[in-house]
Chain A
Amino acid sequence: MAYRTKPLRPIQLIFSSSAFALLLLLTLGTVITLWLHADIGFQLLVSDWAIIKFTIFQALTSATISILIAIPAARALSRRKFKGRQVVLTLMGAPFILPTIVAILGILAVWGRSGYVSEFLQKIGNDPINIYGFYGVVLAHVFFNIPLATRLIVQGWTAIPVEQFRLAAQLGISTSGIGRHIERPMLRTVVPGAFLIIFLLCISSFAIALALGGGPKATTIELAIYQALRFDFNLAKASQLAMIQFSLCAILGSLAIFITKPINFIQGLDHEIERWDGNEIHHKIFDILVLLIVCLFLFLPLFSIIIRGAVPLFTLPALVWIAALNSIVVAVISAFLSVGMAISMSIFIIKMSYKLPIMSKAMEIISFLILASSPLVIGTGLFILTFPFISPFTIALPMTALVNAAMSLPFSLRMILPAMTNAENQYGRLADSLGMNDWARFNIAIWPRLRRPVGFSIGLAAALSMGDLGVITLFAPPDVATLPLVMYRMMSSYQLTGAAGVALLLVSLSIILFWIFDRGGRLEHKIR
């Protein structure tokens, strides 16, 4: 009997059903808990409406600006050959694993009250910039999302068949004609999806609003949930806000699933550039200027972290090192949990697809439900669930690991499920025809094709968890912290030099974790 039609073995069944049960608890379970606790009868206050309006408005502004800058940047990267192009493209991927709080410190070093730009403005007799509030939140969101938007749009350009540019060159179509006939039709298919992803990310951003926003004029829903829970201990209010946040994200998330093309993380964007247009001098100058400005905007804050953090890195207090250890343990556990869940769920989904296709599809959709939730929404739900039995403060670190694992699950699943499906389709039959037993089958036919996405997913999940400043803020007592939380506490008490040292440590650890696992997946990797 072929493997695929065999029933699940008991051990597989236990693993996959507990993975699904955990997922359902974290998504639907927390939402139902919130719903039962929320003040549904209560009218929303004027201040609540202000928070909702601010959340949507800042996200719209941030997404629009990010896309408007990303389009010319992606075009320049797609039609110019230059030394360092590959470096720029690689670094464009970096903000994805860059801890938010580190980036905020870097942005402050450039744009803050005593940053480079303000210093310059004061020298020529102007007031320094006030970065806190709406502009700061938008600036930080744009910083984070330009690279993502650029990457998504460069993918669109890369996907244009080279014949189309050759054809255009043959027919003598001008640069603007190429824009009209080739590039704009591509953008019309790529930009809506990219916009929606960024809009969604900005709606549920917490750390940026925490550090740069706040006050009645610049509070996002996520920040308001945190304040209701942590400062007012108002569970009903926190639940109500969390329900609003969940509904908003659920609508946008389901839109995004339909509109968005899958993001391509592993495959390089390096292909040979064959272009015969854009040779006029004003095109060249424009492209160079765009790339120069974008690179300065993105890399200046990062350089400032390295420069300011290098010296204090060696005089960090002991509590920082304890927090670092906490962070590493949380990151590794949550990464393995996330990928373990993704693998068990993939096995289940693939097996089901032969017998009960509808069930399999439903499982797949449920596993992306987490996209509709946010760390603070899940965190609030878990807080309410655990609060009657145990002090939430004593389980701060396990909760953080759990929620971080859930948050990186959609990424892990998007990497692992297609890889496993392909391996099954391409080599599963061959393995069956050779009569391999279950272990040999997995070891020879499936695992070699899974190693690379698994390594990458563990690395990504570990780095994301390492830099996370979300659910830990809800649960942590004053004497327990992860590295991002220590950094945030130092920044709040204006110990900026120390914070720069922690930032450098944090970003180095994130990169090292990502590198170790990603590398592990590639070692002895001879299949193509």
Chain B
Amino acid sequence: MSIKLDNVKISHGKFSLQADFEIEKGKKIALLGPSGGGKSTLLSAIAGFKTPDSGRIFFENTDITSTPPAKRPIALLFQNHNLFPHLSVRNNIALGITTTLKLSLKEIETIDKALLRVGLDGLGNKMPSELSGGQQQRVALARCLIRKQPILCLDEPFAALGPALKKEMLDLVQEIAETTNATLLMVTHQPDDASYITDQTILIAEGKAHRPVTTNKLFANPPAALAKYLGN
């Protein structure tokens, strides 16, 4: 067992979300549902940006409900603004090792290797503004790679990319999750993305986060809430 949400309730104004489930270690999981349904809210609670009104969150039997974001075993990728615009690509990645940005030769080597892995060999000295949107997300992925956190969370990270580029990025995410043995949580509203790389899917709709179900089985026989979202 990797993450456990025990009777968690999060509310924000009139909106509220209930979640009560466990996630197995090393699984790749999609958080799927309509926009405004609470996918990002749930991810925020797991990452420590929102405090639940009630319930507990556990990581490998340790209660992390009130642990600050930096102390949680999580690497996160947002849809945008993942990079600081005034820092070079190398320094942006370096923030995953040390926030003082004083690097040893060995650490620089680690960063350059990570750049190679995400297909940005030799671009360490570029500024984020010189890169395309897809390249910027690769830099952010390189940082996730060197942080080696046991949980990798992605919040609709490739929504702005075209279909071919998105597939490439999803392959890269899969590779990174497998190298670091991480549990993957990915927010998406595209059923295709979910079936492309994930083992299981958590359906989030109408104020409730359902238990994870094997993605293929779920789509083969969708429950009412999912059928409504898919439109069939």
A residues with a Cβ closer than 8 A to B are 161, 163-164, 166-167, 169-174, 177, 181-182, 185, 274, 276
Contacts and interface: CB of A to CB of B under 8 A. Distances in A.
B99 A276 contact: no
Contacts of A166: 47, 49, 69, 76, 78
Contact of A181 (B75, B86, B96): B86
A289 to B, nearest CB: 25
A172 B80 contact: no
B223 interface: no
B68 interface: yes
20 contacts: A161-B81, A163-B78, A164-B84, A166-B49, A166-B76, A167-B78, A167-B82, A169-B48, A169-B69, A169-B70, A170-B69, A170-B74, A170-B76, A171-B70, A172-B70, A174-B99, A177-B100, A185-B85, A185-B86, A274-B49
Contacts of A182: 84
Contacts of A161: 80-81
Contacts of A163: 78, 80-82
A432 to B, nearest CB: 32
B81 A170 contact: no
B49 A171 contact: no
Interface in B50-107: 68-71, 74-76, 78, 80-82, 84-87, 95-96, 99-100
Given A276-B68, A276-B69, A170 B82 contact: no
A163 B153 CA distance: 14
B75 A170 contact: yes
A172 B99 contact: yes
A166 B76 CA distance: 9
B interface, size bucket: 20 to 34
A164 B81 contact: yes
A174 B100 CA distance: 9
Contacts of A171: 70, 95-96, 99
Given A171-B99, A172-B70, A181 B84 contact: yes
B99 A177 contact: yes
Given A163-B78, A163-B80, A274-B49, A170 B70 contact: yes
Contacts of B87: 181
Contacts of B99: 171-174, 177
A170 B46 CA distance: 12
Nearest to A164: B81
Contact of B95 (A169, A173, A185, A276): A173
A473 B94 CA distance: 63
Contacts of A170: 47, 69-70, 74-76
Contacts of B100: 177
Interface of B: 47-49, 68-71, 74-76, 78, 80-82, 84-87, 95-96, 99-100
A107 to B, nearest CB: 40
Contacts of A172: 70-71, 99
Nearest to B149: A170
A169 B84 contact: no
A181 B92 CA distance: 10
A417 B48 CA distance: 43
Most chain A CB within 10 A, of B71, B75, B86, B100, is at B86
Nearest to A181: B84
Contacts of A274: 49
A170 B76 CA distance: 8
Contacts of B70: 169-173, 276
A166 B49 CA distance: 7
Nearest to A167: B82
A173 B69 CA distance: 11
A161 B81 CA distance: 7
Nearest to B47: A170
A169 B71 CA distance: 9
Contacts of A276: 68-70
Contact of B49 (A164, A169, A177): A169
Nearest to A188: B86
A404 B99 CA distance: 53
A174 to B, nearest CB: 7
A171 B84 CA distance: 12
Nearest to A171: B95
Nearest to B78: A163
Contacts of B69: 166, 169-170, 276
Most chain B CB within 10 A, of A161, A163, A177, is at A163
A435 to B, nearest CB: 35
Given A163-B80, A167-B76, A170-B74, 18 more contacts: A161-B80, A161-B81, A166-B76, A166-B78, A167-B84, A169-B48, A169-B49, A169-B68, A169-B70, A170-B47, A170-B69, A171-B99, A172-B71, A173-B70, A173-B99, A182-B84, A274-B49, A276-B68
Nearest to A272: B12
A174 B75 CA distance: 17
A185 B82 CA distance: 16
B77 to A, nearest CB: 10
Nearest to B80: A163
A19 B85 CA distance: 44
A327 to B, nearest CB: 44
Contacts of B68: 169, 276
Most chain B CB within 10 A, of A169, A171, A177, is at A171
A407 to B, nearest CB: 38
A465 to B, nearest CB: 41
A195 to B, nearest CB: 21
A163 B80 CA distance: 8
Top-10 shortest CB links A-B: A172-B70, A163-B81, A169-B69, A161-B81, A163-B78, A173-B99, A185-B86, A177-B99, A171-B95, A170-B69
B209 to A, nearest CB: 20
Contacts of B85: 185
A132 B75 CA distance: 60
B129 to A, nearest CB: 13
A185 B78 CA distance: 21
Contacts of B48: 169
A173 B97 CA distance: 11
Nearest to A174: B99
Most chain B CB within 10 A, of A169, A173, A174, A177, is at A169
A182 B83 CA distance: 11
Contacts of A173: 70, 95, 99
A505 B145 CA distance: 66
Most chain B CB within 10 A, of A170, A185, A274, is at A170
A487 B41 CA distance: 56
Contacts of B81: 161, 163-164, 167
A105 B47 CA distance: 53
